[in-house]
């Protein structure tokens, strides 16, 4: 009945301490053994999730909140943010005492690598491939995160109808927002992936916990929200499972008859 499974990482696979349970790993392996194609679907940059992917034996990805998708080495989606918008975001951050981390294919570009806000965020997500942002990289940016931003600052970055900010739903990342596009997001990448694989949405499952997962949960036949999800995400999910600290992926897959 199901042919593909999309799994968010933070708050879905990874617990608050950035580890995953052996039960989660075994559940993913059991589903793969049934022939289900498994994707990691994350806001993180692709170059920062290799170790996790290798540990879980997963080789297909949606990264940068949907701006890049890869199925077993074949690129499906590659949608950088337009340079003019990147310039607007960096100017806004500079004027308002905020910082940006801008994600390219192989590098995390930071407006001020010495900023305590950036250091804290980079340490939290164990970012390794970091560099100072310059305008030379503007055409390479697939995603971005605003740091040190209050809720009332959000409209400054929603510069047109295509952009929205989503709070980073991870303990320790308060006042951080991912810059998302309404036409390029996890849901868009899922749709393109299903089309590429010739799989119907009814044959697809997705698990998530953050507001950057809402489009993904509605792009599949069965969207599952973790019990620890952002409260505003639940209306977008068909089902709810237990929390990430209570093996939510395994419980959800059991509910669906896959374990």
Dmax over CA atoms of the chain, in Å, equals 53
Q: Rounded to an integer, what distance in angstroms lies between the CA atom of residue 98 and that of residue 233?
A: 27
Q: Where in the chain is the domain with CATH 3.30.1240.10?
A: 83-181
Q: Is 4-79+184-255 assigned to CATH 1.10.490.130?
A: no
Token pair 């992917």 in the structure block, residue: 53
- What is the distance between the alpha carbons of residues 189 and 170, in angstroms, rounded to a whole number? 22
In the numeric block, the tokens 């991870």 are attached to 170
Q: Which CATH number fits domain 83-181: 3.30.1240.10, 3.30.70.3270, 3.40.50.970, 3.20.20.70?
A: 3.30.1240.10
Q: Residues spanned by CATH 3.40.50.1000 within the chain?
A: 4-79+184-255
Going residue by residue through the chain, which has 259 residues, state the pLDDT in tens, using 9 for 90 and above. Answer: 899 999 999 999 999 999 999 999 999 999 999 999 999 999 999 999 999 999 999 999 999 999 999 999 999 999 999 999 999 999 999 999 999 999 999 999 999 999 999 999 999 999 999 999 999 999 999 999 999 999 999 999 999 999 999 999 888 999 999 999 999 999 999 999 999 999 999 999 999 999 999 999 999 999 999 999 999 999 999 999 999 999 999 999 999 999 9
């Amino acid at each position: 009945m199901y042919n593909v499974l999309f799994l968010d990482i933070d708050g879905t696979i990874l617990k608050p301490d950035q580890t995953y349970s052996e039960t989660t790993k075994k559940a993913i392996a059991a589903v793969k053994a049934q022939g289900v194609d498994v994707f990691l679907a994350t806001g993180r940059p692709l170059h920062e999730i290799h170790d996790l992917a290798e540990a879980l034996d997963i080789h297909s990805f949606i990264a940068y909140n949907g701006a890049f998708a890869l199925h077993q080495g074949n690129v499906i989606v590659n949608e950088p943010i337009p340079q003019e918008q990147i310039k607007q975001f960096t100017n806004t951050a500079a004027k308002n005492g905020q910082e940006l981390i801008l994600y390219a294919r192989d590098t995390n570009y930071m407006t001020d690598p010495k900023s305590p806000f950036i250091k804290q965020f980079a340490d939290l997500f164990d970012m390794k491939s970091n560099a100072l942002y310059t305008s030379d990289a503007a055409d390479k940016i697939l995603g971005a995160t605003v740091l040190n931003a209050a809720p009332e600052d959000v409209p400054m970055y929603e510069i047109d109808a295509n952009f929205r900010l989503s709070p980073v739903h991870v303990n320790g990342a308060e006042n951080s927002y991912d810059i998302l596009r309404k036409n390029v997001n996890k849901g868009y990448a899922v749709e393109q992936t299903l089309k590429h694989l010739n799989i119907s949405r009814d044959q697809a499952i997705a698990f998530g916990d953050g507001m950057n997962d809402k489009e993904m949960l509605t792009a599949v036949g069965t969207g599952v929200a973790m019990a620890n999800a952002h409260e505003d995400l639940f209306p977008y999910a068909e089902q709810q499972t237990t929390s990430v600290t209570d093996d939510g992926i395994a419980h959800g897959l059991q509910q669906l008859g896959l374990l």
